[in-house]
Amino acid sequence: MTDPRPMLVLALDQTQAMIDTIGADELDLPTPCPEYEVRTLLGHLMTVVSRIELALTGNDPLSIPTVTPGVTDFPTTWKERRATLDETLSDGSVLGRTCKLPWGTLPGAAAIAAYTGELTTHSWDLAKATGRTDLLDDSLAEYCLPLVQQFIPAEPRGGHIPFGPVVQVADEAPAYDRLVAWEGRKP
CATH code for position 54: 1.20.120.450
> For residue range 94-146, what is the model confidence (pLDDT) as tens digits?
999 999 887 789 999 999 999 999 999 999 999 999 999 999 999 999 999 99
Structural domain includes residue 167:
no
3-state SS string for 91-154: CHHHHHCEEEECCEEEEHHHHHHHHHHHHHHHHHHHHHHHCCHHHCCHHHHHHHHHHHHHHCCC
pLDDT exceeds 90 at position 34: no
pLDDT band per the 50, 70, 90 thresholds, residue 161:
low
Structural domain includes residue 29:
yes
Split into its structural domains, the chain has a count of 1
Structural domain includes residue 127:
yes
pTM of the model: 0.94
Mean pLDDT (the chain) is 94
The domain of 107 spans 5-136
